[in-house]
Amino acid sequence: MVYGISIILIGIGIYGLMTQKNLFKHIVSLSIIDTAVNIFIVATGYVSNGKAPIYTRALPGFSPNSFVDPLPQALVLTAIVIGVGTLALGASLLVRVKEKHSSINVENMKGVGE
Amino acid sequence: MVAAYKALFNLVLGFFLVLSLEGVGRKITARVQRRIGPPWYQNFIDVFKALSKHPFSNGWVFDFGVLMALGGAMATAMIVPMGSTTWTPFPNSDNFFVIMYLFAVGALGMAMGMVGSGNPWASIGVSRALTQMLGYELPYLIVISSTIFYYKTASIHKLVELQKNGWNLLVMPLGGIIAFISLMGMLGKKPFDISTAPAEIASGPMTELSGKYLGLLHIMHVFAMFVEVSLFVDVFLGGGNLGWYLVKFIVVWVLAVLISSVLPRFRIEQMLKFYWGVPLGLAFLNALFVLLGWTL
Amino acid sequence: MAMSTLLVSLVATSVVMYFISKASWKIGAILNFLIGIFLISYVFALSTGTTSELGTLFGQKLQLIWTNASYYFSLVSLLVIVSVMLFAIKWLDSQKYPAAFNMFLLMMTAGSLGVFMAADLITLYIFWEIAVLSSMLIVPMGKKESRKAAVVYAVMSASGTYMYLYGAFLAFQRYGTLNISEIAKHMVSDPSTGIKATIFLLLASAGIAKSGIFPLHTWLRIAHGNAPDAFSAVLSGQLVKLGSYVLMVSVAALPSLKIFSNIPFYSGIPATNYFLIALGATSIIIGTLMAIKQDDMKMLIAFSSVANGGYILIGIGTMDPIGFEGGVLHVFNHALAAAVIFMAFASVVYRTHTKKISELGGLIHKMPITFLAYLFAIISLAGIPPMSGFISKWMIYQALVRKGMFITAFIAFFGSIGSFLYVFRPLAGVFLGQLPKKYKDVKEVSPIMWLPMVILVTISLIIGIWPFPILKPIEGMRMDFGIAPTMKIADSSHWLIKGFAGNWNPVLVFNLFLIGFVIAYILYTLFPRPKKVDLLAPHKKEGAPINIYTGGEFIYNPDLYQYNTKFYAGFERMYEKHPSWEKLLEMLAKFFYDLGEWVHGWFFRPSPSAYTFWVTLTILIVFWVRW
Amino acid sequence: MISLLIAIPLLLAFISIIWRSLSKPLFFLASFTNIVILITSWFPNGVEIHAMGNWKPPFGINLVFDNASFYAALVVNAFFLLTSLLPGLVGNYGIPLMLLMAAANGFVLTGDLFNSFVFMEIITITAVTIASKKENFYNAFKYLILGGIAGSIYLLATIFAYASTGSLNMAHVSMAGISSSSLVAITTLYAIGLGVEAKLFPLNGWVSGVYGGNDLAPVILGTSVSFAALYMVGRLFGTVFHGNGAEVLYTLALITIVIGEVAALRQRNLLKTFAYSSVAQAGVVVAMLSKGTGTAMGLAYFHLTNDAVAKFVIFLVAGFLVYNYKNLNGVFKKHKVLGASFSIASFSLVGFPLFAGFQSKLRIIMEAFSMKDYLFPSVMLLATLIEVGYVVRWNVKLWFEEETQEKAETPVIASTLALILALVLITVFIKPDIFLGGAMKMGNALADTKDYIQGVLSVVKGGM
């Protein structure tokens, strides 16, 4: 189910990248893909009815087997940070693209020759 | 030393034979065309008269060309065997290709000297002569090649000897006919007198010749014709002795004159198309027959 | 000095030569010439069988060996190169890059010598590339069109070279050695004809490209025609012979008759050889026909080089003892003739700054020595005795007729007669006829420039009369390659050259010609002396007429009466609309260009959307294929 | 010690954020120190690991230092050092360069799949920043999008690997058996994800725009970064996945070679021409890497080293020319040293004898033949043929055409550097071992999976 969502999201992202003329929408699509991948990662680590992977005997019904895998979650954190970095760089580039080519619509940009 | 005398004899015989035959040829042509024509010795008169007159020279290459032409033609005439081993001055060097290419020295000399005269007619004539060469030489060389392949020798006197029992003309009649057609072109007889064409380009290469130059080149022409007809006689009508050789020579000559006296002149492309059409095809057919052993 | 040391130090010296020439190109050129002289003496001193090692490359020893073939080819090359080096001492003052010219010429010499010395395929390749690279960098030093010429030359040459390289490695992979003689042994015993034929043709293709044989001949016109004028002499006289050498290696050093004895095609000649012969024959036709119609004199001789490359290939390809010797001797003849012709043209261009036949004329009055050199060179090129060119043509004809190869013989005859036509065109158009007014102050070139031409022509003449010194190494080569080792063709004791069908005596033939000439001269002097017609009268005095026959008119503007445009109009008209291989190759090149444009447009230029599309598509395709 | 390779440039980068004017000397300092560090630990000839936080592998992140990563790091840092010698070229980009350097080093050294993803993303981000020099924003943006997609795919692959083995450690993943169907998915995704940085067709759309857009990007991206990316191809497909997916790489590589050369042939822009050429060369390297044997991979990296040196010279010269002259006809008449270096480098690229490229190209062809691969050499020779066309065309144009413009000032350092590297190329032809020895060690290290696994998982050294 969650895998399905992430795959659909990836599809949406790719669709956006392929069809949109507005460069900003490309960034948005890219970040949708990022998100989808992140969801996917979290989903791989999920165990049904799993618990938070906090190691404590105080919790009732504790069993290491019911832990959700913590590593993917850590990975996702990193991935999110990187995604944000990409997003920021992309957005700042777009500002300059707009200044130089007077548009961020692929069809209206000026001076994009070769 | 004997070889030197033989070679000298070649020159003397060639000179008198062809020059007289030229006169005879003029007479025959005249008779065919219902004219009286000049006497048979007219050409002797022409040559000696030309030689004795004061000429004009158009520069040193003009002189040099004439000398080269005459020298080359005489050198070739000295090698050519006359119908038998006895009358072969240089049995070790009478290779067909040697004669053929030595002959070209004279032609080149003439062409060079005449173009050197600075007259455009001469240049046009030479251009035509060279093109014509491309026409007639090809079928001729193919026929000769098949002959050489058949007899396994390119030495003319050996070819003559091998024909003791029958002419090559009878072995490969097709080849003989083609070679004769090529010979017409070589001799520059009508319909192949494109390079001189007196009415069009004022005798082409000869335009600027005067006095002794005209005479010397006439002599060169005499030797050239001597070589050409001799080669045909040796290769296709070989065997026999010097007497028979002379008879065959005269017959071939007269035949050529007769044919030429009734024909008009080709244009240059027509000439090429003619030679590269039927004669070339037949020459190849002849070569094929030789390869397959289908000779008479 | 060991051969390897020589080659390496030559390459190194060439770089030094650049800096010397930068200081003074004249000193550089003179030094080059002296090095050339040294090389000739070196070549004479080496004895056959000497080996030398250059080093190792990926475990393979790079070996050099001095054979009869090396001797012969090196000598021919050096004759041409040294002459051009001498020529260049003066000629270079008309050039823009004399220092680089000196450097690359020397480097190219090293490369060429290395090719001839190489004992294995990779050494051959290395030196081959050095020769190609350095010559390729001289070509664009000419006029504007020479830039494109360099590219065409490089690509054409490379296409052959890389096929060769592929063949070399194929052989290495199969036989585990790169040594030519060992490969030859392995190939004889190898049962697989397909692979052998592939290797054979791949190796030969380097030679095909280099010596301008049919499918890859187009670079000759453009490169020889546009290279710096004196360098065309090297290109046509020497570099093209590298190709002939490789062809000889692939046909004779790898004994094709034995290797392909199971696929005879015609009269004992294997199909592979016959394929090469067919290519050679095609080259003769194309070269001759195209040469006849050229107005650019350098391109004319470039096409003639195509045709003559065809002769060489045909001669060698027959693997007939006489044919082989003829083909190899033709290398020498064509090298000398082409070198002299191109140097003569270089002299003409040096003085007149044009290479169009139709813009020239009458230079004999101004440059008689150049004219004579050209005259004797074309006599040799056209294969007319007493020049040496005749001997090789005679041998090739002998072989063709003996084998009964009438169609090939026909083409050879055609090329030979055709060569009369095309060599005469510059003779008439450039040297004879009327001198255009603008060239009335042209002078003969300096002795430094005409001397090399005269020397080469003299050598060619001497060899034409007494060919035995040059036939000796050729016979040696024939023995090395085991082509009818018992047969003797050059019989120097009887002054004879023996063919299968009759002999001839070159000394006698020359003497006859001499006697004929003397008799003619005696006749000439016997009769009245001529009056001179001054063809230069209009140049000397304004308005003076020229006294030649024109149907009663005086000529005041002799330039207009120079017949040199469309010299063979009657014949040229017959094949005006010929198909052009060059155009076809241009279309191929354009196809690659268009493909590049298409790739660029579809994959590299577009917006991120397209990139995404391609990435997605690739993923899908890969998954689809792999699952 | 080895972790300093990453830490120093990172640290200096942060310092230079504060003191911006110091960024150039600091960049030089960083690269210089890195080279010194590498020289002091010359060819470890074994596997050393540096476990971060002393977590014993397979847990935690560890840096692996063996012959392969050493040689890769050496080449990568060497080009950074060369770049840092050219202050005019570096300009304001000292900080991204240092970050890029840190990331490239990390990418090369890491023994962890996710960690390599992180470094790859940093490479992309910094590379995009560098690519935007000279207002080349749109092309940089395109690169960013493509890099982002590639990053996502790379991440997906990493997660698949994790899901199927439960580990992110390369050695551990390599050891653990992966079911063949997941392996197909993983290797495919890795091939695509790495393909973007490794310039495989059709994932290399960014190359011409980025390399052709300014003078700095090709110099550093075409050498260091592409070496790092191609190192990772060898590491993943040679060491970790035992050659699974090699056929994908092989196919893509062959197409890449042809496409790259054909596109280069048509180019009228000097920088872009050689950008495409570097695409084609990457194809050659990848094709060789996909063979999977130590020799083949070693030769691939030998070729890549030669190519990188040649490309450094070419891009250096080309960048100078393109931004100082409008019309490039005959400019080398004014800049003979630059011209000679450029010619030597470009001839080395083609593989003419006397230059380094000859050594690698011939060896590669020979190796391919010995593996009974007849297709790759023919493709490569065809590509070389096209290469001859444009290399000669450019050389002729730059040397021999009529010049039209005033002379620009000759960059002294760049000329010297270019000349030295050109001489290096000639030296390598004479003594190929200079590059070949290291490259072969690298190839063998990459091919030797067993040693790698053992080295990483059993021995623990150092730590931080």
Q: Which helix (H) or strand (E) holds C55?
A: strand C51-57
Mean pLDDT of B152-174: 83
Distances (CA, A) of D296 to C232, D256, D289, D368, D442: 43, 19, 6, 8, 11
Q: How confident is the model at residue B99 (pLDDT cuts 50, 70, 90)?
A: confident
Best residue in C604, C609, C618 to probe D by mutation, most D CBs within 10 Å?
C604
Give me C254's structure tokens. 């790898």
Flag if C612 and A106 touch (Cβ within 8 Å). Answer: no
Question: What torsion, rounded to 10 degrees, do the Cα atoms C531, C535, C536, C539 define?
Answer: 120
Q: How far apart are CA D404 and CA D328, in angstroms?
A: 9
Quick: pLDDT tens for D363-413: 999 889 888 889 999 999 999 999 998 999 999 988 888 877 788 888 888
DSSP C142: S
Please tell me the predicted confidence (pLDDT) of residue D305.
Answer: 92
Quick: pLDDT tens for D23-34: 888 899 999 999
Q: Does C293 touch chain B (CB under 8 A)?
A: no
Please tell me the predicted confidence (pLDDT) of residue B37.
Answer: 83
Domain contains C544: no
User: In this model, does residue D463 exceed pLDDT 60?
Assistant: no
User: In this model, does residue D10 exceed pLDDT 50?
Assistant: yes
User: In this model, does residue B243 exceed pLDDT 90?
Assistant: no
Tell me the nearest-neighbour CA distance from A63 into chain D, angstroms.
19
Q: Which residues of chain C have pLDDT under 70?
A: 549-553
Tell me the nearest-neighbour CA distance from C605 into chain A, angstroms.
6
Q: Which of residues 359-388 of D touch C (CB under 8 A)?
A: 359, 362-363, 365-366, 369-370, 372, 374, 377-378, 381-382, 384-386, 388
Domain boundaries, chain A: 2-51+62-101
Give me C521's structure tokens. 């001269």
Task: Assess whether C505 and C588 both reside in one domain.
Answer: no
CA A71 to chain CA mean position, Å? 17
User: Which residue, D278, D412, D279, is CA-closest to D346?
Assistant: D278
Give me B86's structure tokens. 């006895």
* Helix ranges, A46-106 (H): 70-101
Domain that includes residue B108, residue range: 2-290
Residues B80/B159, Cβ–Cβ less than 8 Å:
no
Neighbours of C333 (CB within 10 A): 29
pTM recorded for the entire structure: 0.91
> What radius of gyration do chain A's Cα atoms show?
20
Domain that includes residue C592, residue range: 581-626
Quick: pLDDT tens for D226-238: 999 999 999 888 8
Domain contains C243: yes
> How are the residues of chain D apportioned to helix, strand and coil, as percentages rounded to the nearest 5?
75, 5, 20
Question: What torsion, rounded to 10 degrees, do the Cα atoms C128, C134, C137, C143 define?
Answer: -90
Structural domain ending residue among the three candidates C480, C513, C546: C513
C332 CB-side CA count, 13 A = 32
Q: Does D168 touch chain A (CB under 8 A)?
A: yes
Q: How far apart are CA C114 and CA C8, in angstroms?
A: 10
Fold of A2-51+62-101: Helix Hairpins (1.10.287)
Size of interface C-D (CB pairs under 8 A): 160
Please tell me the predicted confidence (pLDDT) of residue C552.
Answer: 63
Flag if C420 and B70 touch (Cβ within 8 Å). Answer: no
Task: Assess whether C502 and C610 both reside in one domain.
Answer: no
| Chain C residues close to D386, C-beta within 8 Å | 592
Structural domain ending residue among the three candidates C460, C488, C513: C513
The answer for residues whose C-beta is within 8 angstroms of residue C44's C-beta and 6 or more apart is: C75
Tell me the nearest-neighbour CA distance from B28 into chain C, angstroms.
31
| Chain D residues close to C605, C-beta within 8 Å | 208-209
Best residue in C417, C529, C560, C572 to probe B by mutation, most B CBs within 10 Å?
C417
Domain contains C526: no
C98 CB-side CA count, 13 A = 22
How buried is residue D45: exposed, middle or buried, by Cβ count under 10 Å (0-12/13-18/19+)? exposed
Please tell me the predicted confidence (pLDDT) of residue D77.
Answer: 92
Task: Assess whether C508 and C605 both reside in one domain.
Answer: no
Flag if D163 and A109 touch (Cβ within 8 Å). Answer: no
Best residue in C597, C605, C607 to probe A by mutation, most A CBs within 10 Å?
C607
Quick: pLDDT tens for C165-197: 999 999 988 888 888 888 888 888 888 888 888
Please tell me the predicted confidence (pLDDT) of residue A55.
Answer: 67
Mean pLDDT of B2-6: 83
DSSP D45: S
Quick: pLDDT tens for D417-458: 999 999 999 999 888 888 888 999 999 988 888 888 888 887
Mean pLDDT of D319-329: 87
Flag if A82 and D151 touch (Cβ within 8 Å). Answer: yes
The amino acid occupying position C253 is A
User: Which residue, D67, D70, D64, is CA-closest to D34?
Assistant: D70
The answer for residues whose C-beta is within 8 angstroms of residue C621's C-beta and 6 or more apart is: none
Q: Which residues of chain A have pLDDT under 70?
A: 55-66, 113-114
User: Which residue, D353, A17, D435, is CA-closest to C111?
Assistant: D353
Q: How confident is the model at residue D301 (pLDDT cuts 50, 70, 90)?
A: very high
Domain contains B296: no
Please tell me the predicted confidence (pLDDT) of residue B187.
Answer: 84
Task: Assess whether C507 and C585 both reside in one domain.
Answer: no
Please tell me the predicted confidence (pLDDT) of residue A63.
Answer: 67
Please tell me the predicted confidence (pLDDT) of residue B208.
Answer: 79
Please tell me the predicted confidence (pLDDT) of residue A61.
Answer: 63
Q: Tell me what percent of the residues of chain D surpass a pLDDT of 90.
A: 30
Please tell me the predicted confidence (pLDDT) of residue C263.
Answer: 83
DSSP C190-214: ---HHHHHHHHHHHHHHHHHHTT-G
Flag if B67 and C521 touch (Cβ within 8 Å). Answer: yes
Quick: pLDDT tens for B269-293: 888 888 888 888 888 888 888 888 8
Quick: pLDDT tens for C299-308: 899 999 999 9
Quick: pLDDT tens for D68-112: 889 999 999 999 999 998 888 888 888 999 999 999 999 999 888
Neighbours of C574 (CB within 10 A): 16
Task: Assess whether C144 and C262 both reside in one domain.
Answer: yes
Please tell me the predicted confidence (pLDDT) of residue C549.
Answer: 66
Count of domains for chain B: 1
Q: How far apart are CA C416 and CA C405, in angstroms?
A: 16
Q: Does C409 touch chain B (CB under 8 A)?
A: yes
Flag if C607 and D142 touch (Cβ within 8 Å). Answer: yes
Count helices and strands (H / E) in chain B. 13, 1
What mean pLDDT value characterizes chain D? 88
Tell me the nearest-neighbour CA distance from C344 into chain D, angstroms.
26
Nearest-by-CA chain A residue for C607: A106
Question: What torsion, rounded to 10 degrees, do the Cα atoms C611, C615, C620, C624 define?
Answer: 120
SS3 C605: coil
User: Measured between CB atoms, which of D153, D263, D382 is closest to C596?
Assistant: D263
User: Which residue, C74, C80, C82, C3, is CA-closest to C35?
Assistant: C82
More confident residue, D243 or C457: C457
Please tell me the predicted confidence (pLDDT) of residue D284.
Answer: 92
Tell me the nearest-neighbour CA distance from B32 into chain C, angstroms.
31
Count of domains for chain C: 2
Tell me the nearest-neighbour CA distance from C616 into chain A, angstroms.
8
User: In this model, does residue D362 exceed pLDDT 50?
Assistant: yes
Q: Which helix (H) or strand (E) holds C57?
A: strand C51-57
Dmax over CA atoms of chain D, in Å, equals 66
Quick: pLDDT tens for C285-304: 999 988 888 888 888 999 99
Distances (CA, A) of B232 to B144, B249, B295, C369, C394: 10, 9, 19, 39, 20
Q: Does C530 touch chain A (CB under 8 A)?
A: no
Q: Does D36 touch chain C (CB under 8 A)?
A: no
